[in-house]
């Protein structure tokens, strides 16, 4: 039975992540929002601390990879690494989501490696900072449209193609690249490859100027006859048309709850600041009275807070299911869809309620940061499509 409250044993992790967010992230949040493309050097020491937490087995406070337990003999409910990472991510993004995305060795590529790599690959790529490259100039959210190719040539795969909107694409040590082994075989031929920086044929073309999350770098990458060792392919090299796209898509079951957690952190930050401003303005928020009998701003705040709570609970559920070896693709997409939509509405409405439209308030920044959380790792529309397919029992060919 699931209990959607933060487990007591996660209390120390949550407190540590909150203190780090308050003492490290918040003080430099505006600084690196203004200094786009400047690496936050303050993060180096903090990243080393997170590495220690991760290696201790307690689970870090960043976006590191998580794995499902394979021990089917385990009984009872488990609150493990998935839930710990989600809870830590919420706290860190309460501090600053762009800075979390700038953390060394906490990239979404690390989550991909941590989720699907073999034990040998986990050891070999340990300590590496990995970005994840999926989107291409020819498509946005339709991951099945990958056209970057990977051709086996002896002991290497030869990659050719271009990737866009790669978070940490310039700074990371490596990139997890989605490419197709055989375009004619459709989704089943799409595999992910770990491509290390410095590999001949791998070029960072440029970094983008962005609306939000400016502390992080977002890059365009090009692969031209880039030779990657065949042991850097994550998962099985076999093209299983019966399994279809499930192999690489499994990564999203772990990364989408993480992005939902990022959205939860930003939404909570916006709500807390709005509550403070409303209280100072003499607006009382009363949980014992009907919303329609209170100040209009208080009534709106209560609605936003309820929206936040539902997104928060969906996110915890998706992480809990992964910890307990339950298929969570539906719940991961539900959490990502709800949290992504909610954070945008909450952040913008908080700016409206408080009039915080200038750089004097971080509410302005959070409103800009929020939108990407509704876009990357699958847009709102894609998540709703996945949810519909799961609920109706339709395939991607049957429901487009």
Residue 134 resides in a domain: yes
Do 77 and 207 reside in the same domain of the chain? no
234, 261, 282 - which closes a domain: 234
Number of domains the chain is built from: 3
CA angle 69, 13, 268 (to 5 degrees): 105
pTM above 0.95, yes or no: no
The reported pLDDT for the residue numbered 258 is: 92
Q: 42, 91, 377, 398: which is the annotated catalytic residue?
A: 377
Residue 17 resides in a domain: yes
Bridging pattern class, strands 202-207 and 149-153? unpaired
Distance spanning both ends of the chain, measured CA to CA: 34
Instruction: Indicate the Cα dihedral angle 196, 199, 205, 211, nearest 10°.
Output: 0
d(CA 323, CA 24): 30
DSSP code string of 86-130: HHHHHHHHHH-HHHHHTSTT-SHHHHHHHHH--HHHHHHTTT--E
d(CA 38, CA 350): 29
Residue 400 resides in a domain: no
Do 272 and 383 reside in the same domain of the chain? yes
Select from 28, 83, 59 the least CA-distant residue to 326: 83
Active site residue 398: no
**What's the CATH number where 186 sits?**
2.40.110.10
Whole domain around residue 212: which residue ranges?
130-234
Do 203 and 325 reside in the same domain of the chain? no
Select from 135, 102, 138, 162 the least CA-distant residue to 379: 135
Do 13 and 109 reside in the same domain of the chain? yes
Residue 240 resides in a domain: no
CB neighbours of 209 closer than 8 A, spacing ≥ 6? 36
**What's the CATH number where 258 sits?**
1.20.140.10
The reported pLDDT for the residue numbered 254 is: 81
Per-10-residue mean pLDDT of the chain, 400 residues long, equals 77 92 96 96 79 54 50 63 91 96 86 85 92 91 87 98 96 96 89 96 98 97 98 88 61 88 98 98 96 97 97 95 90 97 98 96 98 94 94 90
Strand partners, 136: 139
Only one residue has tokens 């406070």, namely 61
Q: What are the structure tokens assigned to 135, written together? A: 């989107």
**What's the CATH number where 61 sits?**
1.10.540
The reported pLDDT for the residue numbered 63 is: 47
Q: What stretch of H or E contains 133?
A: strand 130-133
Residue 2 resides in a domain: no
d(CA 372, CA 374): 5
CB 160 within 8 A of CB 226: yes
Strand, coil or helix: what is 257? helix
The reported pLDDT for the residue numbered 238 is: 86
Q: What are the structure tokens assigned to 96, written together? A: 């600053």
d(CA 197, CA 221): 11
Do 188 and 300 reside in the same domain of the chain? no
202, 234, 266 - which closes a domain: 234
d(CA 282, CA 294): 12
d(CA 87, CA 397): 36
Residue 399 resides in a domain: no
């Amino acid at each position: 039975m699931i209990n959607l409250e933060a487990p007591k044993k996660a209390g120390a992790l949550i407190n540590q992540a909150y203190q780090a967010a308050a003492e490290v992230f918040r003080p430099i949040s505006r600084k690196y929002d203004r200094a786009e493309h400047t690496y936050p050097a303050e993060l180096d020491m903090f990243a080393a601390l997170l590495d220690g937490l991760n290696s201790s087995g307690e689970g870090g406070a960043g976006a590191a990879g998580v794995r499902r337990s394979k021990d089917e003999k385990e009984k009872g409910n488990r609150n493990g690494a998935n839930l710990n990472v989600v809870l830590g991510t919420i706290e860190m993004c309460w501090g600053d989501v762009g800075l979390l995305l700038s953390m060394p060795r906490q990239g979404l590529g690390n989550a991909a490696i941590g989720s699907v790599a073999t034990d040998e690959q986990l050891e070999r790529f340990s300590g590496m900072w990995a970005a994840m490259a999926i989107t291409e100039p020819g498509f946005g959210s339709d991951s099945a449209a990958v056209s970057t190719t990977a051709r086996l040539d002896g002991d290497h795969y030869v990659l050719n193609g271009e990737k866009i909107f790669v978070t940490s694409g310039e700074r990371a040590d490596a990139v997890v690249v989605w490419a197709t082994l055989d375009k004619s075989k459709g989704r089943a031929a799409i595999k992910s490859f770990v491509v290390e920086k410095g590999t001949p044929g791998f070029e960072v073309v440029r970094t983008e100027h962005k609306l939000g999350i400016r502390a992080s770098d977002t890059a365009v990458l090009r692969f031209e006859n880039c030779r990657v060792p065949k042991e850097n392919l994550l998962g099985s090299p076999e093209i299983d048309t019966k399994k279809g796209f499930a192999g690489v898509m499994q990564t999203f079951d772990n990364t989408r709850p993480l992005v939902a957690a990022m959205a939860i952190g930003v939404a909570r930050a916006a709500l807390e600041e709005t509550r403070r401003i409303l209280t100072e303005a003499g607006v009382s928020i009363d949980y014992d009275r009907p919303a329609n009998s209170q100040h209009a701003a208080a009534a709106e705040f209560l609605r936003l807070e309820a929206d936040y709570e539902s997104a928060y609970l969906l996110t915890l559920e998706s992480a809990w299911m992964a910890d307990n070896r339950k298929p969570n693709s539906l719940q991961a997409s539900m959490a990502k869809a709800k949290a992504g939509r909610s954070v945008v509405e909450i952040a913008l409405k908080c700016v409206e309620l408080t009039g915080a439209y200038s750089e004097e308030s971080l509410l302005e920044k959070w409103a800009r940061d929020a939108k990407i959380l509704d876009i990357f790792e699958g847009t709102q529309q894609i998540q709703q499509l996945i949810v519909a397919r799961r609920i109706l029992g339709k395939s991607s060919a049957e429901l487009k």
